[in-house]
Structure 1
Amino acid sequence: MDRPPAIDVRKVTKAFGHQVALRGVDLQVAEGEFLTLFGPNGAGKTTLIRIIASLARPSSGEVRLRGQDLGRAAIALRRDLGLISHNPLLYGDLTAEENLRFFARMYNLPQAGERIQAVLEQVGLLARRRDPVRGFSRGMVQRLSIARAILHDPAIMLLDEPYTGLDLQAADMLRAVLQDLAASNRTVILTTHNLEQGLEMCDRAAILHRGRLAWQGARDGVDLVAMKNIYRDVTAPG
């Protein structure tokens, strides 16, 4: 029997009053697949990620994660999800270590202390673990946000424009994390409008434009020049 997709988006629409952000999106991502979702600002990428992450409800349609209806099992399925977004989801008055302990308790992580130390070391913040987050630079906050997202070793990672605002050191660290995810059979959706960064590690690419999935295809055989041409044609005015 075939395994269900890790992520199965079916005819999802989302409207904010009279503003329609998503228009009947169908998207399937297989277990272990790395999908990059391109699109200009306002295309609906963040809205789609928020729906998959169970932070927003679709106006119509459904999302299934690993065969389960997200609308009915959102709390249980969040254990399988890691999210990096514009909002770091951290508490400024807590230290880096205290933030991660809070999330470790949410996920009932065994041996949380060892795991917290490991992810802080991975993102280069072990020496700052006892410092309040409110004193961190934006790059450091983003690095801690990455540590939060991978803390519970999720099967599905959602990354919404993760390179935005990162300094060079943080961007290099994020690239290493993405390489680890790609090599460890995690299911990944990365959204970006940077074609070069988006093509670097993906198995498949797609373009969201004006709330619709306008194009998708395998990464093999699509180089940066070809992707630029496809993107220009798909997102052209008219």
Structure 2
Amino acid sequence: MAPAPPATAPAAPGVQLDGLIRRRGERLVLREITLELPAGGTLALLGPNGAGKSTLLRVLAGLLRPSRGRCRVLGHELPRERHAVRGRVGYLAHEPMLYRDLTVRENLVHRARLLRAPIGQVDELLAATGLQRRASFPVAALSRGLTQRTAAAATLLADPELLLLDEPLANLDPVAAEQLGALLDARPFGVARTRVIAGHDPDAALAEADLVLGLKDGAVALLAAPAAITDAEIGALYR
């Protein structure tokens, strides 16, 4: 009889938070957040301005330290094991983190070198984003939509397993928003991605998320699967 194949260990959750607290001085910006998002799932972050959505994304990106509690992404403790997820987490901030005096290509090459990603991915992403004709343009000369597209391309370098997206379609015209949304939904290198998306559109969040986290004054006001959320709960979140 042939030996049984070895058991495969279950995939680590994409995101695990346990009593996460983040302070800014004496102010509590995030208050006792606990949740688990399976690998490959999508978490939507909803809430009014100042609710703590961007702060939570920055904690998940390893840019801010939790003041208390635990934060694990892709099975690794942050910030202690931040090096273990280098290149595996892509963060698209609300304000694109690009060098405005460098060209589109120079920005992508610089990011690829930092992440130790294959430089060949730069040309693939320029093609995927339709930026080949603007590759030699400085970022300062680009429209808001093209700047966001460049930032998205930089975010997708190194095939990240976890995407952190902070209002990625804000301030874009409908055509640019559709193009950028399609790019972020696509998996050009075949990677099954976990996503955490902050935004203000409840309808979009309920349509594409597996789990919705509503924040209000840094606290959890709503945490449920989309099918379990009522219009009244969404309305209360923004009052």
Paired residue secondary structure (1:64)? strand
Match of 2:233 in 1: 230
| 1:165 aligned onto 2:171 | yes
Match of 1:45 in 2: 53
Q: Are the counterparts in 2 of residues 70 and 77 from structure 1 also a CA contact under 8 Å?
A: no
Unaligned residue ranges in structure 1 (runs of 5+): none
| 1:148 aligned onto 2:154 | yes
Of 10, 18, 22, the residue aligned with 1:14 is 22
Of 1, 18, 31, the residue aligned with 1:23 is 31
Paired residue secondary structure (1:71)? coil
Paired residue secondary structure (1:46)? helix
Of 72, 79, 95, the residue aligned with 2:80 is 72
CA offsets 1:154-213 (integer angstroms, 9 cap, x no match):
0000001111122223201122124325x9531000011111222232222221111112
Structure 1 distance, partners of 2:184, 2:203, is 14
Match of 1:209 in 2: 216
Unaligned residue ranges in structure 2 (runs of 5+): 1-8
| 1:105 aligned onto 2:113 | yes
Paired residue secondary structure (2:86)? helix
* TM-score for both structures, normalised by structure 1: 0.89
Of 174, 182, 193, the residue aligned with 1:186 is 193
Match of 2:6 in 1: none
Of 33, 40, 59, the residue aligned with 1:32 is 40
Q: Are the counterparts in 2 of residues 179 and 201 from structure 1 also a CA contact under 8 Å?
A: no
- Residue identity opposite 1:166 in structure 2: L
Q: Are the counterparts in 1 of residues 76 and 84 from structure 2 also a CA contact under 8 Å?
A: no
| 1:62 aligned onto 2:62 | no
Q: Are the counterparts in 2 of residues 39 and 45 from structure 1 also a CA contact under 8 Å?
A: yes
CA distance 1:57–1:194, shift in 2 (3 Å): same
- Residue identity opposite 1:56 in structure 2: L
| 1:176 aligned onto 2:182 | yes
Q: Are the counterparts in 2 of residues 203 and 220 from structure 1 also a CA contact under 8 Å?
A: no
The structure carrying a bigger helix percent of its residues is 1
* TM-score for both structures, normalised by structure 2: 0.89
Deviation at 1:25, TM superposition (A): 0.9
Structure 2 distance, partners of 1:184, 1:69, is 22
CA distance 1:42–1:34, shift in 2 (3 Å): same
- Residue identity opposite 1:4 in structure 2: A
Show structure 1 runs of 4+ deviating over 6 A: none
Deviation at 1:2, TM superposition (A): 4.1
CA offsets 1:113-156 (integer angstroms, 9 cap, x no match):
3x112211222211100111111111111110000001211000
CA offsets 1:1-27 (integer angstroms, 9 cap, x no match):
543311111111111112211111112
Match of 1:84 in 2: 92
Structure 2 distance, partners of 1:178, 1:109, is 19
Paired residue secondary structure (1:86)? coil
CA offsets 1:210-231 (integer angstroms, 9 cap, x no match):
1112212223465xxx3x3221
Aligned pair count? Answer: 229
Structure 2 distance, partners of 1:2, 1:104, is 30
Paired residue secondary structure (1:199)? helix
- Residue identity opposite 2:177 in structure 1: A
Of 195, 203, 221, the residue aligned with 2:202 is 195
